[in-house]
Structure 1
């Protein structure tokens, strides 16, 4: 127990019975046992251009309770942010192959780097274990940029392929219909001039993302979610646009504007974060915990939107 008597710190007391002076002493408990927290999976880019979702499990203990109280207000939050920044910096210097092969050694190096920053807080990290959630984008074949022809990516979920087809002007195939076989899809170089930019790399707009939502709406999904949402999108130019996803009755509806009546939940996020949610690269809980998703209303209902994104990912 750390005690402040009239604003001056005393030597640590306890464990056991500790006498306190009412209105004079202020105290704070410090747990000296080994504790643990996890760094939520975040999207990182490796040296060879691969995009991965990587998290970490961290074990730590307090060795100086006085420093841990005087120097840092929220010890776990500060250590988690330090670990996440160190992990991002270290993995950005490694290729995907090196990350797979040297995960233990990278964790040991992260342990030393984090301890260098937290030793002045009276805290020592005992273990760092990296956890790879998924490889979101394979590494580049050559360092010169994307190839002239881009064949369909194996394993790409149906929603992403529908959005790519939508951006390339292939509007004859409805998004609810099965996609053609991979060998029948033309490459970009066959349908546009060689000097034209690769349109599939453009970020889909909010209207295009909401158009991909409509085909998956159904009564079963309404039964799972049972709520209406207003989605306020922050556009790159600073403007804002509102959309609605009504999963409270019937087969559900989605479109531009605000829902009829008061929405159960109001969501605020950027257009890029909406794209990551729709394509399954970001989970609603992770977006909320990282501050990328602002929620007004029932958080439990807001997290039910993950059922919608799962349904979009399963649709082929």
Structure 2
């Protein structure tokens, strides 16, 4: 029993008879026995694009009752959140095969990471065991490399400079293995005269190619305006917008007309992986590859745009 006398903490009392002064002392009971709880199964995206339902079983005990009362109000909730956050961050960095083959090793690493946080609360986790409930979506990567459906082939044609005109002119379609990053070049100032047009940046080509897939149904579902601050390989930053608030939606270069609901910071490589469905918005946010300024729930509605591409 932890006793507070006129607001000052005293030496832990008990077990047994404890004398309390009415109106002067207040107390809080602390159970020093080992307790357990379950982290409810949650959906996580692995490094290779698989979607898993993963939970965990955790056993813990309080070794310092004074710290447990003074530092944290609700130990059960705080420990559960710490375990869930550590589990999410750890699994985002591993493929499905690693999670299935090295489950015990991952559990031991999580145990150490959680204890680094909870020791300051007077609490120690004795056991942590992962439980993979189900594989909701298989990995997107295969030994032969990622494949592109017809939509992604059109995207690849667009940002590699071919466009639909190259298809009409008889140029061969790009195969699954031809998708690659194109080096960013500085666009010269517009001028009058004949000559080849400069190579289109990867980010601009990818985002501009979204226009045919925008619709009134998508605008009704999302109803938000996004600003993308894309960091190019050269270290410079380009700004693009995706406005899904009116009509059939618009996408283009520069800042939107009004104030965006969400501002997203990401690299050009991560933007390509996002639009090619090699990276999920939630997984990118949890791993720090996608930085969001604004309402996170609105930012996660980008998943609807990706489904439209599919």
| Band the TM-score falls in, shorter-chain normalisation | 0.5 to 0.7
User: Which residue does 1:201 correspond to in 2?
Assistant: 180
SS in 2 for 1:244: strand
TM-score computed with the length of structure 1 as normaliser: 0.63
Q: Indicate if the aligned counterparts of 1:12 and 1:65 stay in contact, CA closer than 8 A.
A: no
The number of equivalent residue pairs is: 268
Q: Deviations over 1:154-184 (max 9, x none)?
A: xx33332223333554323699x9xxxxxx8
Provide structure 2 residue ranges, at least 5 long, that are not aligned to the other structure.
183-200
2 CA distance for matches of 1:199 and 1:83?
36
Q: Indicate if the aligned counterparts of 1:229 and 1:244 stay in contact, CA closer than 8 A.
A: yes
Q: Indicate if the aligned counterparts of 1:6 and 1:25 stay in contact, CA closer than 8 A.
A: no
Aligned partner of 2:125 among 99, 123, 126 = 123
1 CA distance for matches of 2:286 and 2:178?
32
User: Which residue does 2:61 correspond to in 1?
Assistant: 63
Give yes or no for the alignment of 1:157 onto 2:153. no
1:22–1:256 Cα change, 3 Å = farther
Give yes or no for the alignment of 1:295 onto 2:292. yes
User: Which residue does 2:37 correspond to in 1?
Assistant: 34
Shift of 1:309: 1.4
2 CA distance for matches of 1:174 and 1:11?
83
Q: Indicate if the aligned counterparts of 1:43 and 1:53 stay in contact, CA closer than 8 A.
A: yes
2 CA distance for matches of 1:85 and 1:128?
14
Give yes or no for the alignment of 1:210 onto 2:207. yes
1:24–1:117 Cα change, 3 Å = same
Q: Deviations over 1:1-45 (max 9, x none)?
A: 8789857874799xxxx999989989999994413055763443x
1 CA distance for matches of 2:161 and 2:151?
16
Q: Deviations over 1:124-174 (max 9, x none)?
A: 33531235443121125xxxxx9xxxxx93xx3333222333355432369
Kindly report the root-mean-square deviation, in angstroms, between the aligned alpha carbons of the 2 structures: 4.7
1:157–1:281 Cα change, 3 Å = same
Provide structure 1 residue ranges, at least 5 long, that are not aligned to the other structure.
45-50, 141-145, 147-151, 178-183, 189-197
Q: Deviations over 1:279-311 (max 9, x none)?
A: 223333333344433333333333222211110
Give yes or no for the alignment of 1:134 onto 2:132. no
